[in-house]
Structure 1
Amino acid sequence: MRIGILGAGTMADTLGTRWAAAGHELMVAGRTASKAEALADKWGGRAGSFDEVARFGEIALIAVLYQGMPAALSEIGDALRGKPIVDCNNPVETEHFTLVSEPGRSMAQDIERATGGHVVKAFNLCEAGVWRMDPPIFDHRRLVVPYCGSDSVAMDLTRSLIADVGAEPLAVGDVRHALHLEAMAAVVISLLFGGRDPHTVFNLTDQSAADVRR
């Protein structure tokens, strides 16, 4: 399928690389044109403006740090209206590891409201290194990826993209559940900043497990 990648950072690079390898056609936009062009060359795709990339895709991935989201949404305008959108972002500040979004609302819902598209929250609970695993296998089992959204077509396409990186899709509800996935990401990010291995962020040693039980 045609995928518009909005953002040219690490998550865009990692997921785009996996999807290009799966045979999808990609177009990318980034705040730094040279980074977007480098990714397009890597994938055998094309680079363009945020508006062009949004209009190109049958589905779009928005992979933009929360600080740059308002500017990105302004450039996208209404180009994603009615389209499926995958949101892998987390509105989490890294001093106290709390959500910076409006209380009771998720970034996914804000993106949906701003674009008029159909947003699915997915890929937000693992660091990019996990998505580079081909496939992401832990204890001989595929990584389970929770995702949520309110549009059946967007959910079906996202399920396919999760499967394309070798993971197990797990639908967890409509877009209102994105708030819970983002809150969970705040916990994950705090653990990563605390030194946990991104590949085993929840694994505890026997001693630390005992400490937790106490």
Structure 2
Amino acid sequence: MRIGVLGTGSMADALATHWARAGHEVTIGGRDPHKARRLAQRVGGGAVSGSPRSAAESGQVVLAALPFEAGAAVAGELRAALEGKVVIDCSNPVGPGFRLLTRGGLSAAERLAAAAPGAHVVKAFNLCHEDVWRMRPPVFDGRPLAVPVCGDDGTALARVRELVRDVGCEPVAGGGLERAGLLEATAALFIALWVGEGADAQAIAPPLAYAAGPVQ
């Protein structure tokens, strides 16, 4: 699969490295050519660097590893290049005090979709710190990390599920793109629990057998 990566930060580094190791053709796109070139070298596996536009044009799938504040603007600039492409949004619109910046409005993923209406936007990879995504693989107590995936296009979802498995995780159907905001709100809650309270967010959910009430 040809994958374009928009951004040169930690999430771009972590995910692109897995995908290059899995044999995908990766193009790192950054506004700073030096940073993009340096990241492509670090990713390895034949990854190349270029501009954001060249990365968007080259990829069948495009990872938008961009800050929330920049995502929609960049997608709008590249809307023609993103036409028909699968676009993965991994951003978290979380501000000071662990506040959800999109509260009452469109999710970050829906804003990307509105800015590039010809793209097939999928929300994924937003619930963990970048160092978790660097793990080879992210397995805890013998169980692979589950990654919720939200989107509206079946082909796009299938491609993203493949990329989730290439990271060593298990994809979980999260529903349509209208549910992306729930993933982003979950991230805001989890970050507040982990960072603000030092709490174990996993401890707030019972095992699946108890999800509907006590086992009879």
The verdict on a shared fold, with TM-score over 0.5 as the criterion, is yes
Opposite residue 128 of structure 1, the aligned amino acid is E
1:29 to 2:29 alignment: yes
**Residue aligning to 2:13:** 13
**Counterpart-to-counterpart distance in 2, 1:79 and 1:186:** 31
1:41 deviates by 1.6
Following superposition, which runs of at least 4 residues in structure 1 exceed 4 angstroms of deviation?
Answer: none
**Percent identical residues:** 45
* Distance in 2 separating the partners of 1:30 and 1:49: 5
Cross-structure match for 1:126 = 128
SS of equivalent to 2:94: coil
For structure 2, list consecutive stretches of 5 or more residues without a partner in the other structure: 205-216
* Partner residue, 2:211: none
Alpha-carbon spacing, 1:9–1:196, altered in 2? closer, same or farther (3 Å):
farther
On the 8 A contact 2:150/2:180 being kept in 1, the answer is: yes
Within the alignment, does 1:96 sit opposite 2:97 as a pair?
Answer: yes
C-alpha separation between the residues in 1 aligned to 2:201 and 2:133?
14
Contact 2:124/2:149, CA 8 A, preserved across alignment:
yes
5+ residue gaps, structure 1: 205-214
**TM-score after normalising by structure 1:** 0.87
How much does 1:98 deviate?
1.6
CA distance in structure 1 between the aligned counterparts of 2:147 and 2:98, rounded to whole angstroms:
22
CA contact (8 A) 1:50 1:75 kept: no
CA RMSD of aligned residues (A): 1.8
Q: AA paired with 1:7?
A: G
Alignment TM-score, normalising by the size of structure 2: 0.87
What residue number does 1:61 align with? Answer: 63
Could you tell me how far apart the structure 1 residues matched to 2:13 and 2:86 are?
20
In the comparison of the two structures, how many residue pairs are matched?
Answer: 201
**Compared CA separation, residues 103 and 153, structure 1 to 2 (3 A):** same
